[in-house]
Amino acid sequence: MELMRFKMIEEAMNRSALEVKAPSARPSDYFGSKVFGRKAMRKYLDKRTYEALVDNIEKGTPLTREIADSIASGMRQWAMENGADHYTHWFQPLTGGTAEKHDSFADPDGHGGVLEEFSGKMLIQQEPDASSFPSGGIRNTFEARGYSAWDPTSPAFIVDTTLCIPTVFISYTGEALDYKAPLLRSLSALNKAATEVCQYFDKNVSRVFSYLGWEQEYFLIDESLWAARPDLVLTGRTMMGHEPAKSQQLEDHYFGAIPMRVMSFMRDLEYECHQLGIPVKTRHNEVAPNQFELAPVYEEVNLANDHNQLLMTVMDKVARKHRFRVLLHEKPFKGVNGSGKHNNWSLGTDTGVNLLSPGNTAQSNLQFITFLVNIISAVHKNNGLLKASVMSATNAHRLGANEAPPAIISTFLGEQISGVLDHLVEDSDETIRFDAKSVFKMSGMTSIPSISRDNTDRNRTSPFAFTGNRFEFRAVGSSDNCAEAMIVINTAVAKELKEFKQEVDAKIASGAKKERAIYEVLKEKIQASKPIRFEGNGYSDEWKEEASKRGLDCETSTPEIFKRYLDAQTMEMFKELGVYTPLELEARTEVKWETYVKKVQIESRVLGDLAMNHIVPIASKYEAILLDKACKMKELGLISTADIDLIRRIQDHTVAIQTGTTNMINARKKANRIENMYEKAVAYHDTVEVMFNEIRSHIDALEEIVDDQLWTLPKYREIMFIK
Ligand code: ADP
Ligand code: MG
């Protein structure tokens, strides 16, 4: 009988690119056609309603019940004309991904018929059953109920036949049970703190926005081969598999020609994205075989994050249509680059100034340096927390591996900016002069106006790099919700700016000139945050040693890293800025430990099952064939040393797999008895997960010596190359 594996490979190889009907119109014709954006709002809302909604979006002016009803009615009309018959509150629970519960617009009218209805109340608030989403104990302590509440700043959209309304998800007592609520709070805290600091430089600034441009990396593999790998199906990654003879050594995949089937998928995906108003722009191959990247034009953080969440769902859907599966796991293949989601982050004012872009005048550059230094200082003080914000059972396989950002957070500024900061510190006070009009001038600043973006060199090994007009946080995982990292950055920077303003104001109050006061506070911050600046190779072992000497957080155990959320100063910071209450932080950390345990538990079960019911039986079958041969040769008086050696090796590996699996199961049983979630996570990390590599190494060794005709699981070399 032909092995299933070969049938799957044949199927995959024979698949041709799906014909994508080229959209007849240009992107500008259909961009945002499935979004209830300004264009649809103008058409479907009356003037008063439209203006009230715009005011709410731009200034946060509350909406009256009557206006909400009017918006809902216009939204329903638009949605139905565009093929929708259901609506849902779309939210981002802590499980990751998005959740939705569809309700029909149609309501019985009491006379045997139905009426289509959608009121302001239905738009504004819903009560999904919170009990099926993780709450980290908040539910037990208080109330089972949870509410979803409309976020008017992110426009509603249509997926298939459902109107999706972006919402926050909170408990009965107001605690956030999602990512969006704290993200909005952190954006508001940052806006307040940054606007106040901007006022030193420009009184016209009344609002500061944060922007996010994510770069999404992912793998694509053929659906048949995916289905033949239970580990991929159940855990999102391969838990075994020998590296192929050709992997990424040649680096011929990066920016190489995109295979036809993939190209067809990408075009389809881009079309879907554009209709949903996601401004995707760039597509290319990534370093590893079958790895690709997609990036949009950056947007305001809340919207950008909704778009990334939506993208991940759409990607999955489109991939299935093309008989692919998209892998968003951070490390689907051993020995091959993992996937991240670089978060390009910047701040801009409502007067159109990018606060992270060097300007042309000394004044604008002092503003640039002010924000730059405060950000670096915030990253320094919260480097362990930032790492916690991107850490997960899956991303842990990527961080610290030799091709991804290390598990130590540092910032890279480039030689020129670094030089400017050092110069500012070294300059003695006498070199600062203020002329009669109090225009800022100092010898140390003369070099600043010449900073040009192109001069910022790139360091690919830095987890938090300054790239000319933004910071790029590269440690974020490909499956992450970007909000987690954004919440920490926004809050930490808001706190830093708030303190900065207090210190500067204090100096001004005691008689210092404004620019001088700013300069002095910056100088202290530059000096104090020096340890976070690192321009060298972040992948090297020397850096680990050096980073530890510098007092940076070098912890590598995932459950321990989560604890940074519970440090006293961290809890205080989140509370002070109104982003998380201590209760929320405790609950969310509990969820992190719980999710970690579940993921490792599933992996452990899958590995054990595959080892015992795929690998060991195959190895034994081959061993039996060899034994039979050796015995028969012996009967003929021939000695087969090579075969006997092979039998011994197979036997050794098989025994090691059996023993390893038994030990792993025992460790799991023991860990399962632990009640405390933190301790359980630590047990899973220290006693269960550590066994994976050992078991795997024996499986991979067997893959190399067992007859290929017997091996049931598709191999790396077969999965990884789309023709
Ligand atoms: P690279 O791969 O070289 O880092 P890409 O062009 O692939 O760059 O992606 C850069 C991302 O950064 C894009 O999403 C882009 O929109 C975004 N970006 C550019 N400028 C800014 C900015 N000022 N703030 C935030 N994101 C930005
Ligand atoms: Mg990048």
C-beta 100 within 6 A of ligand 1? no
Average pLDDT over residues 86-100: 90
- Cα of 358 vs centre of ligand 2, distance in Å, is 20
Residue 333 has pLDDT above 70, yes or no: yes
Q: Confidence class of residue 442 from pLDDT cuts 50, 70 and 90?
A: very low
- Cα of 368 vs centre of ligand 1, distance in Å, is 19
**What confidence score (pLDDT) does residue 140 get?**
57
C-beta 297 within 6 A of ligand 1? yes
pLDDT, tens digit (0-9, with 9 covering 90-100), for 500-525: 999 999 999 999 999 999 999 999 99
Residue 112 has pLDDT above 90, yes or no: no
CA distances from 176 to 92, 168, 448, 453 (A): 11, 8, 43, 39
The percent of residues in the chain predicted with pLDDT above 90, rounded, is 72
C-beta 715 within 6 A of ligand 1? no
Residue written as token pair 């680990």: 544
Q: Confidence class of residue 346 from pLDDT cuts 50, 70 and 90?
A: very high
| Rounded distance between C-alpha atoms, residue 596 and residue 12, angstroms | 34
The pair of three-digit structure tokens given for residue 403, joined into one six-digit string: 């091709």
Nearest CA to ligand 1 atom 17: 213
**What confidence score (pLDDT) does residue 249 get?**
53
C-beta 104 within 6 A of ligand 1? no
DSSP code at position 18 = P
The pTM assigned to this predicted structure is 0.94
**What confidence score (pLDDT) does residue 437 get?**
29
Q: Confidence class of residue 537 from pLDDT cuts 50, 70 and 90?
A: confident
C-beta 471 within 6 A of ligand 1? no
**What number does the ligand 1 atom closest to the CA of 297 have?**
16
**What confidence score (pLDDT) does residue 722 get?**
66
pLDDT, tens digit (0-9, with 9 covering 90-100), for 459-505: 778 899 999 899 999 999 999 999 999 999 999 999 999 999 999 99
**What confidence score (pLDDT) does residue 574 get?**
98
Residue 438 has pLDDT above 60, yes or no: no
Which neighbouring-strand residues pair with 114?
108
C-beta 169 within 6 A of ligand 1? no
CA distances from 34 to 120, 163, 309 (A): 21, 9, 16
The phi and psi torsions of 282 (rounded to 5 degrees) equal -110, 140
- Cα of 327 vs centre of ligand 1, distance in Å, is 23
Residue 331 has pLDDT above 70, yes or no: yes
Torsion of CA 304, 305, 309, 311, to 10 degrees: 20
Residue 253 has pLDDT above 60, yes or no: no
The phi and psi torsions of 324 (rounded to 5 degrees) equal -110, 165
- Cα of 467 vs centre of ligand 2, distance in Å, is 9
- Cα of 482 vs centre of ligand 2, distance in Å, is 15
- Cα of 287 vs centre of ligand 2, distance in Å, is 13
- Cα of 594 vs centre of ligand 2, distance in Å, is 32
Q: What is the DSSP string of 228-294?
A: T-HHHHHHSS-S--PPPSSSSTT--STT-PPPHHHHHHHHHHHHHHHHTT--EEEEEE-SSTTEEEE
Q: Confidence class of residue 667 from pLDDT cuts 50, 70 and 90?
A: very high
C-beta 255 within 6 A of ligand 1? no
**What confidence score (pLDDT) does residue 448 get?**
41
| Of 405 and 221, the one with more pLDDT | 221
Residue 458 has pLDDT above 80, yes or no: no
Q: Are 385 and 492 in contact (CB under 8 A)?
A: yes
- Give the type of residue at 202: D
Helix (H, G, I), strand (E, B) or coil at 294: strand
Residue 198 has pLDDT above 90, yes or no: yes
The residue to mutate among 210, 216, 298, 299, having the most atoms of ligand 1 within 8 angstroms of its beta carbon, is: 298
**What number does the ligand 1 atom closest to the CA of 348 have?**
23
| Of 362 and 14, the one with more pLDDT | 14
